[in-house]
Chains A and B, each alone.
Chain A
Amino acid sequence: MKQLIKDYLDHGISRRQLVSGLSALGMSGVAAKAVAQNLSPLGPGAAEAVAAAAPVAIRDVEGNGGALFVAQLKAAGVEYLFFNPSTGDHPIFDALVDVPEIHLIKGIQEGAVIAMADGYARASGRTGVVVVANIGLPNAMTQMVNSYKDQIPLLVAVASVDQDALGRDQLQEPDHPELMTEPITKWFWQMQSTAAVAETTRRALKFAATPPCGPVFLSLPTNTLEQRAKAQVWERSKFDVPMRIRPDKDDIEKAARMLIEAKNPLISIGDDITSCRGEKELVELAELLGAPVAGLTGGLGYWSKPFPTRHPLYVGALLRTMRYPGKPDVLLNLGNRFGEIASPGTRLISIRLDPTGLARGAPVDVAMVADLRLAMADLSDAIRSMAAASRLKAIADERTARAAAYSKQMHDEREALARALADSTPVSLERLGLELEANLDRDTCYVTDADSGKTMDALMSFGGDDKPYFSTSPNVLGWGMAAGFGVKLARPDVPVVSVVGDGSFCFSGPQPLWSMARYKAPVTVIVLNNHSYNNERNRIWNGAGRQFEAARDMTCYLGDPDVDYAKAAGAFGVEGETVKQPDGLRDAFARAKSAMVEGRPYLLDIHIKREGLGAVSEWYPPYSVADLRTRKV
C-alpha cells in the first residue's frame, strides 16, 4: 500500500489507478477514495503523507501555502469557499483542483461575495469562508459591517503582495491593508511564513467561530502561498472547542426567585437567542411564567425573530411604555442588545452572550454572561424546582389568557387596518404583506434588507414553526439578494424569498443574481419598487428641517430614470416580471413558485406605493450636463 501511494504521489500512477489498487488490497471503495482525497493537496514528493491516509485528527502535510490553507479548511470541514479571484491567490485555487469536497461559489462583486457567505453562515451556523482580491477588499468591507455588528462567523482572506515587496509602494496595495479591517473584525493578521499558514488558518477559524462570533481577516502575502513547507492540519474538534458557558448557579437562583415573585414580568428578546439556537427553550420559559414577550420592531436593531410572532404571549415592540402588560416589575432581558431599559420600580435581569454588551446603557440588578440556550434551560429548571407546579400553572394560565386577549386584539386590528389599505395602486405594503402571508409556504426562509418594507412584518408570522427570518441589524444595504442565495445554499430543501427595496437592489446591483443563475439557486427575489429611498426621506423629513418645510425632496426620489428591475435580472440570466396592480400579485407568485420548483430563480419587480412625509413628491433638483455644453459633443 505504501508503494502504491508513493507511486501516486510521484505521479507514477493516476488517481483512478490508486483507488482501484487500494480496493484490490481490500480497502472499501469509500475509504480508498478518502485516501486519494486526503493525499490530493500534498503535491509531488511528500512521502510523509502516507501517515495522512489514516483517519486521524491531526495530520502532517507538506505542500505550498495555498495547499496548506486548503488542507486546513478541509480538515475543519469547510464545504464552501466564496470567492472572487486575483493573481496572487492562485495557489489556493490550484490546490482546489484536487479537493472536490470544497465547492467554489463565485460572486462577481466582493460585497455580494461577503453577503452570500454571511447568509450561509446565519442559516447554517457554520463559518463562511471567503477569498477575494486584495484590491477588492474595500468592496467586501461594506458588507462585513453587517457581519461584524451581528457577530456572524466569517473568515475573509486576501492574497497580498510578496513579503519582499511590502512597503515598496506597490501599485495595487496600500501599506498594511489588514489594518483597514481592524474596526470591523474580531481579529486580523498578516501571514508571516508558509510554515505558519495552517496554524494561523486554524486560529482564524477558531476566533471567527468562538462566541460572540464575528469576521476575522487574513492577509496572505503571495510568496507565503507559493513557497512550500511541512505543517500539521487539525480536525475542527481539536481546536474549535465549544464555548457553551453555563450561567452561575447562584445568579440563576436569584433570577428565578425574582421571576417567581414578580407580579408583572416582561421578557425582552434579541438575536443572542438565535445565535445560541435557543428558540425552543425561550418558548418553554415564557410559557412556564406566562410572561409576555416583546422584541424590537422598526427598520433596524435586530436580525432574527427568535420567538413565534403569532404566539399568544408575543406582544410586539419593546417600548418604554408598554400598553400590555403596562409597567413591568421585573424585566428579563434575554440577549437583546437594546433590551436593557431602566425605569424606577422595574428590576432588571439581563443575560447576554457578549459581555461587552452587558450592563452597557442601564443599571442592571442581576447580570449574567452565558449561552442563552443553557441559561434559559437552567432558569426554567430553577423556577420549577423552587415553586409548586400547580401554583406556577395557575399564575401562567391567568397571565397567558390576558396576554392572548391583547395579542389577538392587536392582530385583528392590524389586519383590519391593512385590509382597508389593500386595494390601492401602486400596490400598498399592507396588501403585499397580506398576500405574502397567504401565499408563502410556512417554512419559507424570509430574507430581507427592506427599509419601509419592514412595515409588512407586522402582518406576517415568523419564528417557531413559521417562516425563519433573516435580516441585518445595521441594514447596510445591498445584502438581501446575495444573502438570500447564501441561505438557500445552507437550506436547499426549504423555499427562500429575498425581499429588497429598489434602493437596496441598486446598492448590490444585479450581481448577486449572476450567482443565483450560475448555481441554479431557486430563490424568489421581490423588489419593493417605490421609486424612492422612501424611509430615508421619512427620517430626514421627520426632523422637520428645510426639506420638510419647503416640501422639496432634495435627495431621495429614484423614479427618474425609472429602472426596470425585471429587465436588469434578465440581463444577468434570471427571469423576472413587473407587477403594477394588486390583482396581479397572486398569478405572479404562482409563476415564481413554478420557476422555483423547476430549480430556477425568479424576480418580481413590484411597484409599491410610497408612504409618509413627502411621499407624493416626484420632484428632484433638476440639472442637465448636456445643457452645460457649448459644443454638441
Chain B
Amino acid sequence: MRAALPALVVLAIAAAVAPSRAQNANPLPPGEGRDLVAVACSQCHYLGTIAKIRDGAAGWRVYVDNMVLRGAQLSGPEIETVVNYLALNLGPGMNLSPPKPVTLPDGAGKDLVETRCSVCHDLERVAVVKRDRRAWPLIVADMAAWGAPTTPEEAKTIADYLTAHFSD
C-alpha cells in the first residue's frame, strides 16, 4: 500500500539506509540535462514512470510545473533545461522500448493509427477497449493537443476508424 507513505517519507527513511538508491536506479537515457533531472526529479519519487512517459514539450511542461508547485526546487532556467531534456529524449518516438504486438482490424485509418498513435505509448492503450462513440473524436483531439502529429483531416479519419471498430 504505497499510498500509506508519502514519497518524502519513504525517502527520508530510505536515505539513511540506501543513500545512493535513486542514482543506482537511474533509468533515464543520456542527454544534456540528465543529471539535473535525475537529482531534481528523484527527491520525492523514483524515476521509473518518467522514463516510460513520452510526451511533447507542452505536455512535459505541465508535469514539471505541477511538480514545482508540489515542492520541486527548480529555478526558471532549470525548468527550461528539464523540459528540453524530457521533450528531446523522452519525446514522441524517442528511445521507445519494443512495442507490444497489437493487430488492428483492416480499414481506412489503420495505417495512420499504427504510425501516429504509437510514438508516445503502445497501441494497447489505443485500440483494445471499447469506448463511447462520442468519446473517440474528443480523445483524438486531446492527443493532437498533446503532440500527436496529425492534420485535422487525419484526425477525423483516425476518429472514424476507431469509432467504427472500437465502440459499441
Which residues on A are within 8 Å of B, measured CB to CB?
A: 296-301, 315-324, 338-343, 361-363, 409-410, 413-414, 417-418, 420-421, 430, 454-455, 458-459, 474, 536, 539, 541-544, 548-552, 611-613, 616, 618-619
Residues of A within 8 A of B71 (CB): 297-298, 316-317, 319, 458
B13:A613 contact, CB within 8 angstroms: no
1-56 of chain B: CB within 8 A of chain A: 2-9, 11-13, 15-16, 19, 39, 43-45, 48-49, 52-53
Residues of B within 8 A of A611 (CB): 62, 66
Least CB separation from A297: chain B residue = B71
Q: Which 8 A-B pairs have the closest CB atoms?
A: A317-B71, A323-B73, A300-B6, A551-B125, A297-B71, A319-B43, A338-B12, A362-B16
Stretch at the interface among B106-114, B128-136, B156-164: B128-136
Residues of B within 8 A of A458 (CB): 69-71
B43:A616 contact, CB within 8 angstroms: no
Q: How many A-B residue pairs have CB under 8 A?
A: 125
Counting CB contacts under 8 A, is B94 at the interface?
Answer: no
Residues of B within 8 A of A315 (CB): 73
- How close is B133's CB to chain A, nearest CB, in angstroms? 13
B121:A618 contact, CB within 8 angstroms: no
B124:A549 contact, CB within 8 angstroms: yes
Residues of B within 8 A of A616 (CB): 139, 142
Extra pairs beyond A319-B44, A342-B16, A417-B69 (10, CB < 8 Å): A297-B70, A298-B8, A298-B44, A320-B15, A343-B19, A413-B76, A420-B65, A539-B3, A544-B52, A613-B49
Counting CB contacts under 8 A, is B104 at the interface?
Answer: no
Question: DSSP class of B's interface residues: helix, strand, loop or mixed?
Answer: helix
Distance A412 CA – B76 CA, assembled complex (angstroms): 10
- How close is A589's CB to chain B, nearest CB, in angstroms? 21
A363:B16 contact, CB within 8 angstroms: yes
Least CB separation from B76: chain A residue = A413
Q: With A300-B6, A301-B6, A361-B12 in contact, do A324 and B73 touch (Cβ < 8 Å)? A: yes
Least CB separation from B73: chain A residue = A323
A298:B16 contact, CB within 8 angstroms: no
Distance A341 CA – B65 CA, assembled complex (angstroms): 26
Counting CB contacts under 8 A, is B74 at the interface?
Answer: yes
Residues of B within 8 A of A409 (CB): 75
B6:A536 contact, CB within 8 angstroms: no
71-106 of chain B: CB within 8 A of chain A: 71, 73-76, 79
A341:B124 contact, CB within 8 angstroms: no
Task: Give which listed residue, A317, A321, A551, A612, contacts B8 with CB less than 8 A.
Answer: A317
Residues of B within 8 A of A474 (CB): 4
B52:A548 contact, CB within 8 angstroms: yes
Which residues on B are within 8 Å of A, measured CB to CB?
A: 2-9, 11-13, 15-16, 19, 39, 43-45, 48-49, 52-53, 62-63, 65-66, 68-71, 73-76, 79, 121-122, 124-125, 128-129, 131, 135, 139, 142
- How close is B157's CB to chain A, nearest CB, in angstroms? 21
Least CB separation from A616: chain B residue = B142
Least CB separation from B11: chain A residue = A320
A552:B129 contact, CB within 8 angstroms: yes
Residues of A within 8 A of B66 (CB): 455, 611-612
B124:A550 contact, CB within 8 angstroms: yes
B128:A550 contact, CB within 8 angstroms: yes
B16:A430 contact, CB within 8 angstroms: no
B16:A414 contact, CB within 8 angstroms: no
- How close is A554's CB to chain B, nearest CB, in angstroms? 11
- How close is A1's CB to chain B, nearest CB, in angstroms? 62
Least CB separation from B128: chain A residue = A550
**Complex A-B: 20 CB contacts under 8 Å:** A297-B71, A298-B8, A301-B8, A317-B70, A319-B44, A320-B43, A321-B43, A323-B75, A339-B12, A340-B12, A342-B15, A343-B15, A361-B16, A363-B16, A414-B68, A548-B52, A549-B124, A552-B129, A613-B53, A619-B131
Task: Give which listed residue, A316, A420, A619, contacts B73 with CB less than 8 A.
Answer: A316
A322:B73 contact, CB within 8 angstroms: yes
- How close is B1's CB to chain A, nearest CB, in angstroms? 10
Least CB separation from A316: chain B residue = B71
Residues of A within 8 A of B124 (CB): 549-550
B121:A551 contact, CB within 8 angstroms: yes
A543:B12 contact, CB within 8 angstroms: no
Distance A316 CA – B142 CA, assembled complex (angstroms): 34
- How close is B35's CB to chain A, nearest CB, in angstroms? 12
B8:A318 contact, CB within 8 angstroms: yes
B2:A543 contact, CB within 8 angstroms: yes
Residues of A within 8 A of B68 (CB): 413-414, 417
Residues of A within 8 A of B79 (CB): 413
B8:A338 contact, CB within 8 angstroms: yes
Distance A301 CA – B12 CA, assembled complex (angstroms): 11
Q: With A338-B12, A417-B69 in contact, do A618 and B6 touch (Cβ < 8 Å)? A: no
Distance A414 CA – B66 CA, assembled complex (angstroms): 10
